[in-house]
Structure 1
Amino acid sequence: MKRIKGAFIITMLIAVTGISCKKDDSKKEENVAGAATVTASNYGFDGTAGASFKSTKAGIVQVGTVWTLSAIKDGSNESISIVLGNVTATGTYKLDQGNNEGNGAIMLKDYKTATGEGAYSTDLPATGGMTGGGEVKITKLTATEAEGEFYIVAHNSAGKEAFVEQGKFTGTLNKR
């Protein structure tokens, strides 16, 4: 089940990245992915002290009920991606390992090359049996806008931890 869920999350992230990067001249410029901002006041990898995260290179995409937030940290190749499997309205969505909705998050040290120890997922366990997780609160969801808050605890294949606290997102929702 873990492998299926992990494969689903990775497949969705690849699909959303492709959708987010595709330019469609037939749509208005303000309704394309990339028109979102993501911030967090406490963010880090592998036990480092928390730093801030800011992305003006973010996109929010919803295909049916699958909702995805992808953000690349400004001046960096680090990224945060969140996939929620059943979004129909505002609300609180759990990222806890093994949740039934297929929700999850991935943090990458370098979105261009991250694999194994460079990729941190809420679906991977830490050494000592600790689990990943988090929560997304969508406080505004219209046909064109989304905003809310989140936190994430994720682990890599070696059991090391990445975290995001006091995360916020706001921007244009790209519905497909």
Structure 2
Amino acid sequence: MKKILIMLLVATASLTACKKDDDKKKEEATGGNATVTAGNYGFDGGNAGKFSSTKAGMVQVTAAGQTTFTVTAIRDGGNESITIILLQKAAVGKYRIGPQDDNGGIMISKDYAKAGDAALNYSTDLSGTNMAGGGEINITKVEGNTVEGTFYAVAYNGNQKEAFAEQGSFKGILK
């Protein structure tokens, strides 16, 4: 299951990174269908400040009998991104995430356009000596296609460096 989650995180980040220039211009003109914020986030022991994305996307897909709820956000004015994946249909509740949990995960990236670079991408699914990624996804409201929630995460990259997102929230319409 963990290998599936990592593959989903990389695939989601790769899809986000492969947008054509025309798609970017259209997205900038129309905005996204969700917003994502984090009151505090950072990388490698540093604090980057607040994360805000007004052009985030929220989807729910069922394939091979597995429903996956995903929120993907690129920071306004930057390349940092946060991707939230819940391995089930969006439903009100709290979901622990981490190497020991099969609920999903969060990926925090320094540069969404470089999805294959293990040094720039951090996952709650990674663990090792003296480190364990994890966090929580809390879906607080599901009304029709509108979903709202909160999250926090501690994630690690391939070099065992840490990224974090605190006081996170998301709100949007499923597409």
Q: TM-score range by the shorter chain?
A: 0.7 to 0.9
Structure 2 CA distance for partners of 1:5 and 1:171, relative to 1, 3 Å: closer
Please say if 1:5 is aligned against 2:8.
Answer: no
CA distance in 1, matches of 2:13, 2:94: 21
Q: Which amino acid aligns with 1:71?
A: A
Q: Indicate conservation of the 8 Å contact 1:33/1:60, yes or no.
A: no
Structure 2 portions without partners, runs of 5+: 24-29
Corresponding position of 2:49: 51
1:29-72 CA-to-partner distances (Å, cap 9, x unmatched) read xxx99211111111100100251111001011111331001000
Number of residue-to-residue matches in the alignment: 162
- Aligned-residue identity in percent: 47
Instruction: Say which SS state the counterpart of residue 112 (structure 1) adopts.
Output: helix
Superposition TM-score, scaled by structure 1 size: 0.81
Corresponding position of 2:148: 147
Corresponding position of 2:166: 165
Instruction: Say which SS state the counterpart of residue 113 (structure 2) adopts.
Output: coil
Structure 2 CA distance for partners of 1:78 and 1:168, relative to 1, 3 Å: same
Please say if 1:62 is aligned against 2:60.
Answer: yes
CA distance in 2, matches of 1:63, 1:72: 20
Corresponding position of 2:120: 118
CA distance in 1, matches of 2:164, 2:146: 26
Name the one with the larger strand percent: 2
CA distance in 2, matches of 1:2, 1:39: 26
Corresponding position of 2:110: 109
CA distance in 1, matches of 2:168, 2:5: 24
Superposition TM-score, scaled by structure 2 size: 0.82
Q: Indicate conservation of the 8 Å contact 1:33/1:172, yes or no.
A: no
CA distance in 2, matches of 1:173, 1:88: 10
CA distance in 1, matches of 2:99, 2:110: 21
CA distance in 1, matches of 2:92, 2:136: 13
Q: Which amino acid aligns with 2:53?
A: S
Please say if 1:41 is aligned against 2:39.
Answer: yes
Structure 2 CA distance for partners of 1:59 and 1:49, relative to 1, 3 Å: same
Shift of 1:98: 3.2
The ranges of structure 1 where at least 4 consecutive aligned residues each deviate by more than 6 angstroms after the TM superposition are: none
1:108-165 CA-to-partner distances (Å, cap 9, x unmatched) read 1010124111010111125x42100010111111332011100010000010000000
Structure 1 portions without partners, runs of 5+: 24-31
CA distance in 2, matches of 1:171, 1:62: 12
Q: Indicate conservation of the 8 Å contact 1:33/1:173, yes or no.
A: no
CA distance in 1, matches of 2:94, 2:150: 9
Q: Indicate conservation of the 8 Å contact 2:122/2:162, yes or no.
A: yes
